[in-house]
Structure 1
């Protein structure tokens, strides 16, 4: 990983100069094995990669498979450099923007769309068709999946499963790929409408579908197992009441811990069809108890930066994008130039929700247009 200030740098990010040219051993080589193991075990991925580049002794003391993953937010923009992917390390108090080189891929303008642990999925032109590429950008290794038609890349939603498996969902069908298979498996989707913001959690897919009329949306939650893509079940309980009716253009995002779904949308001021929104509301569904709770509301002064005008609707005509995972939600919009809004779930709160709102300033690159993103666990736990 490299600082964003040098996005087009193409040299190997993990050189390993030999320590044999030095006549005296490094201080690390003089440490007792237990002390060395204790020090190495405390390093996170970024300093561990820097240590591996220092000398051969540290490279051998830090094998890639032993390095812990680093949770990042990967951003994509249609006009961003085709040779890098822009990432944010949210673990720092102030924004730390980095770029991960993609110059090892022999394809023009690859477009990252999803990720699983250590692996990125990217669309790329592989004439005469379009294909998904699975790669580990830190290991500079990739594999081309069986080709797909351009219609799938234009209209399909890509989900990345662990180990290099992948799903592509459209309004009528789903394609699934298992590593080692020579082709994609096609299944009818059997949903009442096009799936909206599908997410993959613990081997199951959750999505929203609009079962209303052309004049009024009516959102419902559906789920199915990855092993049975046609077996969708509508999740609904009487005590949920009007939970789906109070939100405009809702989206799903995985919550913290893998046992909670977050649903984010504009909070309607009334149940009228054309009712304006007053703010953004975040609801959480506990998959153990199947109960909804309110987790957060965007502060009015922050919401005004996205709505722009009185009664505006975040997520509507102002082209606000909502993305994230693992209890963090980011918002980008044309009116909020050069920055993102972020909400982070309070992981100590078990019921009733809670979280903190803040601005993430200094987004590098273009100020026009709207960024989209997804969570990426960078590391060496999986290879294409």
Structure 2
């Protein structure tokens, strides 16, 4: 089943700090800068553009009518698909937790710029972001009675509904498993994915739905693959986690009830278990992420009313190992010494992003690797993160920007 498509020309990829000052004169000058490039043979133009960033390609489509038609052609899209290995790291999407149609911005780490990319092409009912799937975003409907899921490409403005679940439910655990393959030593490309929906509230308001359903993108269908044990089904329904992490065949979720606990589901054996959080002081406002095939926990440490520091742990065979702590000067600037220590977090590889709804900057931690020491720095924030998002909760997700028009992968 093909994705529904809307022309991607209308996407707003002007950086927020340039958008207000953008004029027709700048647009004319922008086009004139291309000069003789407009006379390039199409095959040479295609090879050049296919090796540039997504935002440059979309901007290039406004140079002239011929470029617009060529960039939207099947031949260029196929060339783009073949050259995906040249594309850069995923973008950080900052989305409103409750209505991504109204507030959605993306940070390009290579260009160090924010872009406004509201998915207004989605139906109004599909507005809650769930998870990133390679170059796609999984969203769900706002209904509290049953779960309506869909997948979209926020760059090319494609979207499609997923088939309905066999067992209608709400407030369930939702997790994504990406199939990946590696070539030429570069990042893996997605070759299909699975979606796990476990537990939740049944359509009977007083009941719980124990079944586990798995969606396979290659088969485009759901299958019931097991049941959630009663002791976990109730906890998943009452304290439904917003984020899940898939690591080495196991799905992990951090329950929202305090004290925190981690529920684990082995997708291979079907076994449910519980993982204890690090021992010590009270754990506050915590998040899970997968880094280098290890489960990583980020959280505040202190008393229920006083956060003393933010730490990073990794889970290994011997338990939790602290690998990093936010330096005091950054901690004081980030939380401001306030008792309100609520913050948001998103991680991708060695990069950890910390941000709050009420401020414009983000704090980035690049964890140590073989050739680099751990570093901390501030990056510019998106104007929508500082203003439009000030009264709503934000979620951060990493999506690989892609232009090609295709089914899921």
Runs of 5+ in structure 2 lacking a partner? 1-10, 21-35, 179-191, 201-207
Matched, 1:168 2:210: no
What SS class does the counterpart of residue 130 from structure 2 fall into? strand
Aligned length: 335
The within-5 A match list for 1:278-297 is 278-285=308-315, 292-297=321-326
CA contact (8 A) 1:177 1:184 kept: yes
Structure showing the higher helix proportion among its residues:
2
Q: Distance in 1 between matches of 2:403 and 2:266?
A: 27
Query: Residue in 2 aligned with 1:267?
Result: 301
Q: Distance in 2 between matches of 1:281 and 1:340?
A: 17
The equivalent position to 1:43 in structure 2, one of 52, 70, 79, is 52
Q: Distance in 1 between matches of 2:356 and 2:363?
A: 9
| RMSD of aligned alpha carbons | 4.2
Matched, 1:225 2:275: no
Query: Residue in 1 aligned with 2:96?
Result: 77
CA contact (8 A) 2:365 2:374 kept: no
The within-5 A match list for 1:86-165 is 86-93=105-112, 96-108=113-125, 110-124=127-141, 129-147=146-164, 152-153=169-170, 155-162=171-178, 163-165=192-194
Q: Distance in 1 between matches of 2:102 and 2:305?
A: 44
Q: Distance in 2 between matches of 1:356 and 1:157?
A: 33
Q: Which moved more, 1:119-128 or 1:105-114?
A: 119-128
Give the deviation of 1:232 after TM superposition: 3.0
Q: Distance in 2 between matches of 1:313 and 1:145?
A: 39
Give the deviation of 1:303 after TM superposition: 3.9
Give the deviation of 1:199 after TM superposition: 0.4
Runs of 5+ in structure 1 lacking a partner? 8-23, 237-241
Structure-2-length-normalised TM-score = 0.65
Q: Distance in 2 between matches of 1:324 and 1:379?
A: 20
Give the deviation of 1:129 after TM superposition: 4.8
The within-5 A match list for 1:241-280 is 243-246=278-281, 248-249=283-284, 250-255=286-291, 258-268=292-302, 276-280=306-310
CA contact (8 A) 2:89 2:109 kept: no
Matched, 1:178 2:216: yes
Structure-1-length-normalised TM-score = 0.69
CA contact (8 A) 2:114 2:381 kept: no
CA contact (8 A) 1:115 1:121 kept: yes
